[in-house]
């Protein structure tokens, strides 16, 4: 399995528009972060988790020729706003399979009414093929088995996903013991850390490190990063040996 980090930034991305914060002005490519998303490739199947406002740029940067499905963690704009840009895949492949829970689907139906329109569709409008997912129900896409992991984003229940010994959790503030049980013996855990100071709906760095300690993956990668976390290289130097700050276009093999 190959994991490609399409974006590792929080909702505003880095640099933030109009910001003169030193991290936003950093020339280091690792300090430039598009909105959080990953591409997973296994056995000729390519899956994207989330489809934020940078989706087009991310597909171009990853040279993604074929995309088999998009899985949504939740409905917030930084994870969904790029849905219109699936059209080039529609023209090549047909309707894009999307995997969403019912609440997220109804939110997408409001945000992107024209995508879900069944009568008098605008010619060339984005097209999706919807698959509903549910807590505690593993599903399969081609040969890939995916286990949804229920986490809380503040008070909002959202999904992370586990495939074999890899788990991807973003926008997490709380994970129940029962869900943590599903995350034992991971080779790689991706988990969010926003900044150093606490936040109502996202782990800060201390909370993410504490979570990593509890879960004990062989390696952990941190994503959904704000410019307020600091310079990539400085933060990386402060982390335990098996914990890495992810950065855009980083590719890992599992
Ligand atoms: Zn987010």
| pLDDT tens-digit map of 152-188 | 999 999 999 999 999 999 999 999 999 999 999 999 9
CA–CA dist 45, 218 (Å, integer): 25
> What's the CA-to-centroid distance between 119 and ligand 1, angstroms?
33
Positive or negative torsion for Cα 9, 157, 130, 126: negative
Report the separation in Å between the CA atom of 143 and the middle of ligand 1, taken as the mean of its atom positions. Answer: 28
CA–centroid distance, residue 191 to ligand 1 (Å): 12
How far does the centroid of ligand 1 lie from the alpha carbon of residue 207, in Å?
17
| Residue 77: CB atoms within 10 Å | 12
pLDDT at 51: 98
- Taking the centre of ligand 1 as the mean of its atom positions, its distance from the CA of residue 79, in whole angstroms, is 6
Inter-residue contact 98 to 127 (CB < 8 Å): no
What pLDDT, on the 0 to 100 scale, is given for residue 110?
97
Distance CA 164, CA 121 (A): 39
Cα 121 to Cα 106, 115, 125, distances in angstroms? 19, 8, 7
CATH number given to 2-253:
3.60.15.10
Kindly give the distance from the C-alpha atom of residue 66 to the centroid of ligand 1, in angstroms, as a whole number: 25
Please tell me the distance from the alpha carbon of residue 105 to that of residue 132, in angstroms, as a whole number.
8
**pLDDT at residue 144 in the model:** 97
Cα 127-153-180 angle, rounded to 5 deg: 105
- Per the DSSP assignment, residues forming a β-bridge with 139 are 146
**Tell me, what's the pLDDT at 218?**
98
Q: Tell me what pLDDT residue 198 has.
A: 93
49 Cα–ligand 1 center, Å = 12
Q: Ligand 1: distance of its center to the CA of 224 in Å?
A: 7
Ligand 1 centroid – CA 75 distance (Å): 9
For the question of whether the overall pTM of this predicted structure is more than 0.95, the answer is yes
Which among 47, 10, 244, 224 has a CA at the least distance from the CA of 145? 47
Distance 217 CA to ligand 1 centre (A): 23
Residue 39 Cα distances to 22, 70, 131, 248, angstroms: 29, 9, 19, 11
Domain ranges of the chain: 2-253
Burial class (CB in 10 A: 0-12, 13-18, 19+), 162: buried
pLDDT value of position 3: 98
Q: Using 50 as the pLDDT threshold, list the residues of the chain that sit under it.
A: none
Structure tokens at 128: 């999706």
What is the dihedral angle through the alpha carbons of 17, 104, 127, 71, rounded to the nearest 10 degrees? 80
């Amino acid at each position: 399995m190959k994991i490609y980090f399409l974006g590792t930034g929080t909702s505003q991305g880095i640099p933030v528009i109009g910001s003169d914060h030193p991290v936003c002005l950093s020339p280091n490519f690792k300090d430039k972060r598009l909105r959080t998303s990953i591409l997973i490739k296994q056995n000729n199947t390519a899956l994207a988790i989330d489809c934020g406002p940078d989706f087009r740029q991310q597909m171009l940067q990853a040279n993604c020729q074929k995309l088999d499905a998009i899985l949504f963690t939740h409905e917030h704009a930084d994870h969904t706003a790029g849905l219109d840009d699936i059209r080039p895949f529609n023209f090549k492949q047909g309707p894009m399979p999307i995997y969403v829970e019912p609440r997220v689907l109804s939110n997408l139906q409001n945000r992107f009414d024209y995508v879900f329109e069944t009568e008098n569709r605008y010619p060339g409008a984005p097209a999706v093929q919807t698959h509903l997912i549910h807590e505690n129900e593993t599903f399969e896409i081609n040969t890939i088995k995916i286990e949804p992991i229920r986490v809380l984003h503040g008070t909002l229940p959202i999904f992370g996903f586990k495939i074999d010994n890899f788990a991807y959790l973003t926008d997490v503030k709380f994970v129940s013991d029962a869900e943590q049980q599903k995350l034992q013996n991971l080779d790689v855990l991706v988990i969010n850390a926003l900044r150093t100071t606490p936040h109502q709906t996202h782990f800060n760095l201390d909370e993410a490190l504490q979570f990593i300690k509890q879960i004990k993956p062989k390696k952990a990668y941190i994503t959904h990063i704000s410019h307020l976390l600091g310079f990539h290289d400085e933060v990386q130097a402060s982390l335990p040996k098996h914990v890495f700050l992810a950065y855009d276009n980083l590719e890992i093999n599992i």
